[in-house]
Structure 1
Amino acid sequence: MSFSYPVAVKFSEIDLAGVVFNSHYLTWCEDAKWAFLERAGFGPDHLAQEHGNALVRHAEIDWVASLQPRDRAEIRVSAERVGVTSFTLRHEIWRAGDDPVLTATCVITYVWVGSGSATKTDLPPALRRALTPA
């Protein structure tokens, strides 16, 4: 599934070196993940019905180029790997415009955890199917 999530870069998200603070990359990716899952039919309300949630297990950020305040960015989200209890999403952050530029890549692995416990459990079968690349 091809998916893109828009971001408007704010002055407060850029550090003195002119680079997006790492925490903002992760916040953007979390918002993009939820929009991606919603489009696949697994938004927050549906996941609550599944009695579980996808929690960050591991995150990697690879910076490539800077974004500036007032830039428009686009986060392209794709499922990179789908396992039994976890899945990995690739988030490519592009500077939007006539000549798009890849600015960062965030690869985040999420583990499925049952509601009310800190125990990982199998992904719901319908979620696995929705995430599995065709």
Structure 2
Amino acid sequence: MSARPPFTLPVTVRFSEIDVAGVVFNSHYLTWCEDAKVGFLDSIGYDPARFAAEHHLALVRHAEIDWVVSLRPLDRAEIRVTVDRVGTSSFTLRHEIWRTGADPALTASCVITYVWFDTLAGAKIPLDEHVRGALSAA
């Protein structure tokens, strides 16, 4: 897609996100990616109020996560979101979760495909030209 810098969402690991092994429990990565997706879409003009008004949602169709390094309590990180692909009725975002600070490292990458969904019809629909343009420009 474009050479634009990624959208970034800062994260501080909370104690409630830690499992018995002392690292972030795996499902929290998907929660962070959802928060980053919402922030990213807001940054290109598709905030939650617009979704509600237009009766559209971007629903998870497929998600893949590769863990590299564990995050621990109070680590600071950022989720970097870029567009991987824009299809007919779906789009794919790459979420890279980077530990920041004195010892930066890629900790995980999540590639998630979202399907464009009409909440009134209860079915997937093609991406409209406006969202397609916004995603392609991001």
Other-structure match for 2:40: 36
Instruction: State the SS of the aligned residue for 2:22.
Output: coil
Q: Which of residues 113, 116, 123 in structure 1 aligns to 2:120?
A: 116
Give me the TM-score of the superposition, normalised by structure 2: 0.90
Write the distance in 2 (CA, Å) between the matches of 1:29 and 1:46. Answer: 20
Give me the TM-score of the superposition, normalised by structure 1: 0.93
How far did residue 133 of structure 1 move? 4.8
Partners of 1:50 and 1:124 within 8 A in 2: no
Partners of 1:77 and 1:89 within 8 A in 2: yes
Partner amino acid, structure 1, of 2:69? A
Partners of 2:23 and 2:73 within 8 A in 1: no
Q: Which of residues 4, 20, 24 in structure 1 aligns to 2:24?
A: 20
Is the deviation greater in 16-25 or in 57-66? 16-25
Identity over the aligned pairs, expressed in percent?
64
Q: Where in structure 1 are there 5+ consecutive unaligned residues?
A: none
Q: Which of residues 6, 9, 18 in structure 1 aligns to 2:10?
A: 6
Other-structure match for 2:75: 71
Q: Deviations over 1:59-78 (max 9, x none)?
A: 11110001110011100000
Q: Where in structure 2 are there 5+ consecutive unaligned residues?
A: none
Write the distance in 2 (CA, Å) between the matches of 1:84 and 1:67. Answer: 36
Write the distance in 1 (CA, Å) between the matches of 2:51 and 2:128. Answer: 9
How far did residue 115 of structure 1 move? 1.5
Instruction: State the SS of the aligned residue for 1:53.
Output: strand
Write the distance in 1 (CA, Å) between the matches of 2:26 and 2:70. Answer: 12
The CA RMSD over aligned residues, in Å, is 1.4
Aligned length: 134
